[in-house]
Structure 1
Amino acid sequence: MTVQPYPLQFKPEMKERVWGGRALEKFDLELPEGAIGEGWMIGDHPNGTTKVTNGELAGKGLDYIREQYGREWFGSNGFSEKNGRFPLLIKLLDCNDDLSIQVHPTDDYDRLPAGELGKTEMWYILDAKPDAKIIYGLRDKVDRSAMETAIREGRIMDTLQEVPVKAGDAFYIPAGTVHALCAGVVVAEIQQNSDTTYRLYDYNRPGLDGKLRELHIEDSLNVIAYDGAGATRMTSTETAPGEWLTIASSPYFVVEKGVVAAPWKLETSPESFAILVIAEGSGTIAWEGGEKPVKNGECYLLPANLGAYKLDGQMTVLRSVVPGR
């Protein structure tokens, strides 16, 4: 059937995690019982495929959208003949406890699981308790030998940089960057469509099944970018209304932050879909075929061929697109 493009909203796939909590309920999201660490808001992955909740395509999965409309709706940069899947995975994370110390591989790592990609990602801090922090990269002069020694001697934390965080901070995390979110933050994550994580350290705590979670020391040591992978961070609290501020840029995604304080006319591009994450506040999105109220915690996929649309209200929005490569 022929469907006119419109902003797609999806039912999140909720993931229980040993470090999760209940903070995502503040976005009026339905959480199952348990410690919910991740809401996969827009996903097309074997471990989680989200389904449309609005409009003509309600009930259809993102995989169906890809198969039926991928080339036109995802755009020339966003549709891949090679991999097939939607190129990005959009999450909200509730870090009620510290995440494991971890690192992700690049696309060309020869021990990737079959069908998987590497994982470059970015974080935008939606909320942070006082004194909240993250692990972000290595200290100076930490090479593979120094890391191996620190792991063997049980002092891996001595090799890592701790960074204080607050709401509005943005972190770009290229594959190869050692990192970990810590307790007390709620985060929007935009990443490559991958679920590959190598754990270096997990505080010797049991997982949800009561057993220690698996570590991946050899793979981690192999993929760490000891001289840095180009990680960048910024504070974006001074964003001017009606202007886009680039907060993360990679070969896989460009993420911009915008503050809506008055009607703002925008347009999608034939090159890429746009993902909108409503980070704060509320308002409306209008397009040729209709108008929809939106609020914080909601995520929308705007097809590349949607064309003109308008944001209005009082809200902060993250916009993600796929650049040409």
Structure 2
Amino acid sequence: MKPYPLQCKPEFKERVWGGRALAQFGLELPEGHIGEGWMIGDHPNGTTSVVNGELAGMGLDQIREQYGEAFFGSKGFSKKNGRFPLLIKLLDCQDDLSVQVHPTDDYDRLPAGELGKTEMWYILDAKPGAKIIYGLKDGVTRERLAQAIEENRIMDALNEVTVEAGDSFYIPAGTVHALGAGVLVAEIQQNSDSTYRLYDYGRLGLDGKPRELHVEDSLNVIAYEGAGATYMKTDLNASGEWLTLARSPFFVTEKGRVSGEWKLQTTTDSFVIHIICDGEGTIRWADGELRVKPGECYLLPANLGDYSLDGSMTVLRSYLP
């Protein structure tokens, strides 16, 4: 089996805050308010299947079982549950997300086999004035936050940041956060579906009932002194160079601009994931080539070796540290 870049059929998730903007990438959306496209995933709540090449029709879990370390690399498995360690999403936020926080891997109330959730966001597009919630204000303790929640003034305890396309946010587990209305986001995260909601604006869910809050779990897992969250503008000085957006124990994500041919390679330690942010081009490797366009996500096997990106485009690259 010769390795090649894998493209998957997304698993779409309807969310009360979602919309139809992911269709701009040529994706065929089901009906409803589609908030999430799980582009590359191997989770009980959504496992993507390959749509191209010899492995078309196989789920990422089947590829993991059949080709294992050769494709995913010596680091390419979660130490906790053996699954593919990352989950790659595109998010369409037509309304504000709930104010939320994610646990670390060692939180004792996680379901069996579930991971914590450290993640990062790259803003693909943002309406003028769009904002996100990113962390607590200085001096907010568990006691002060609990009181603010009890008195229905939680927003007084939270930081808001105005965002624009190209902004990048690193969100370690324990960081309070929420995407705001009007943003389109690429998300790289641990392979987890663990979210604790602190506040949801009194909103009803898709079933017409109030959405569940998880205040006690949230208060337990928040890193009140900060978890190391950082954000940055990501203007690139030149083509053919990587700018590091996030470096965590779970993934490294970088941004680069392709202008002409850029020769790269995978290593036996880790797969590489490329998200095409804008522009168009080609991925070439020893046995073939693929035309690529915005919104597409590709999993390059660890044993692919030499490959190149060619064209005029902006890409994200993620791999295991």
For normalisation by structure 1, the TM-score amounts to 0.98
- Secondary structure, in 3 states, of the residue corresponding to 2:139? coil
**Contact preservation (8 Å) 1:49, 1:63:** yes
- Secondary structure, in 3 states, of the residue corresponding to 1:97? coil
* Percent of pairs with identical residues: 75
**Contact preservation (8 Å) 1:127, 1:186:** yes
Runs of at least 4 residues off by over 3 Å: none
**Contact preservation (8 Å) 2:236, 2:257:** no
1:237-262 per-residue CA deviation (whole Å, 9 max, x = no partner) reads: 23421001100110000000010011
Inter-partner Cα distance in structure 1 for 2:75 and 2:125: 32
Inter-partner Cα distance in structure 2 for 1:79 and 1:40: 18
Shift of 1:311: 0.5
**Contact preservation (8 Å) 1:239, 1:259:** no
Q: What residue is the counterpart of 2:82 in the other structure?
A: 84
The residue type equivalent to 2:194 in the other structure is: T
**Contact preservation (8 Å) 1:5, 1:73:** yes
Alignment of structure 1 residues 85-164 onto 2, 5 Å: 85-164=83-162
Q: Does 1:219 align with 2:217?
A: yes
Distance 1:82 1:146, change over 3 A: closer
1:37-79 per-residue CA deviation (whole Å, 9 max, x = no partner) reads: 0000000000000000000000000001100112111111113
Shift of 1:81: 5.9
Alpha-carbon RMSD across the aligned residues, in angstroms, is 0.7
Q: What residue is the counterpart of 2:51 in the other structure?
A: 53
Inter-partner Cα distance in structure 2 for 1:179 and 1:76: 33
Q: What residue is the counterpart of 1:18 in the other structure?
A: 16
The residue type equivalent to 1:261 in the other structure is: S
1:102-139 per-residue CA deviation (whole Å, 9 max, x = no partner) reads: 00000010101111000000000000000011000000
Shift of 1:5: 0.5
Q: What residue is the counterpart of 1:275 in the other structure?
A: 273
Q: What residue is the counterpart of 1:191 in the other structure?
A: 189
- Secondary structure, in 3 states, of the residue corresponding to 1:251? coil
Q: What residue is the counterpart of 1:32 in the other structure?
A: 30
5+ residue gaps, structure 1, are none
Count of aligned pairs: 321
Inter-partner Cα distance in structure 2 for 1:82 and 1:138: 30
Inter-partner Cα distance in structure 2 for 1:77 and 1:280: 29
Inter-partner Cα distance in structure 2 for 1:303 and 1:238: 27
Inter-partner Cα distance in structure 1 for 2:243 and 2:79: 31
Identify which range, 63-72 or 213-222, moves more after superposition.
63-72
Alignment of structure 1 residues 224-243 onto 2, 5 Å: 224-243=222-241
For normalisation by structure 2, the TM-score amounts to 0.99
1:12-50 per-residue CA deviation (whole Å, 9 max, x = no partner) reads: 000000000000000000100000000000000000000
The residue type equivalent to 2:278 in the other structure is: E
Shift of 1:278: 0.3
The residue type equivalent to 2:101 in the other structure is: V
1:222-247 per-residue CA deviation (whole Å, 9 max, x = no partner) reads: 00000000001110023421001100
- Secondary structure, in 3 states, of the residue corresponding to 1:262? strand
